[in-house]
Amino acid sequence: MRSTKRTISISAALILAGVGLSGCAGVAANAGEDVPRGEVFPPSLAQENALADGVVDEAEYDAGFAGFQACMSAGGYTVEVLDTSTSIIDYRYLAQATDDGTADRCYQIEFAAIDESWQTAHQDEQADGELLDACLSENGLAIPKTRQEKVDALVLAGVDLGTCLAEG
């Protein structure tokens, strides 16, 4: 199974740093087949409604995730919730769902904009704050206030975020 914790604010930094949080994708199950990549899917009405007032509340976040799970289930995949003890849901699903495009389609349609809004609003509540602080200290860097500033400082200093966030 692929572990997928959607962490928007750090994902962009990790891409820039050449590191992926969700691990290496396996070989495509349908190698040799034309699998559409980079398709853009319009958001569901439920996702649009959740974003209509510009603020995503916890009920809307949970409902968006449930929509994503239902979409994945309809596509033949189970989304296993690993942890709900923090403000960001930690989950995983089979890598094949990414390979065949199901995960991308479901995420875009049911959850992407909700998840991004929620994570942006709750970035400083994420469990990796202590790991980022320790990494900053170990590299002789000042510890900024917000999570995004911490990530930016590490990326700017050329620190490997994958190493920083790898829990012993």
Range 109-128 average pLDDT: 85
Quick: pLDDT tens for 62-96.
Answer: 999 999 999 999 999 999 998 887 788 889 999 99
* DSSP string of 89-117, one letter each residue: -EEEE-HHHHHTTHHHHHHHHHTHHHHHH
41 and 80 in a single domain? The answer is yes
77 and 65 in a single domain? The answer is yes
139 and 87 in a single domain? The answer is no
CA–CA dist 31, 48 (Å, integer): 35
The distance of Cα 148 from the centroid of its chain, to the nearest Å, equals 15
Better-scored residue on pLDDT, 36 or 146: 146
Nearest to 47 by CA among 1, 138, 5, 109: 109
Is the pLDDT at 8 greater than 50? The verdict is no
For residue 65, what pLDDT is reported?
97
55 and 77 in a single domain? The answer is yes
99 and 153 in a single domain? The answer is no
Is the pLDDT at 17 greater than 70? The verdict is no
SS3 81: strand
52 and 119 in a single domain? The answer is yes
91 and 145 in a single domain? The answer is no
For residue 102, what pLDDT band results from cuts at 50, 70 and 90? very high
158 and 106 in a single domain? The answer is no
Q: How many domains does the chain have?
A: 2
Is the pLDDT at 23 greater than 60? The verdict is no
| pTM of the complete model | 0.61
Q: Can you give the residue range of the structural domain that contains 12? A: 2-125
7 and 80 in a single domain? The answer is yes
93 and 141 in a single domain? The answer is no
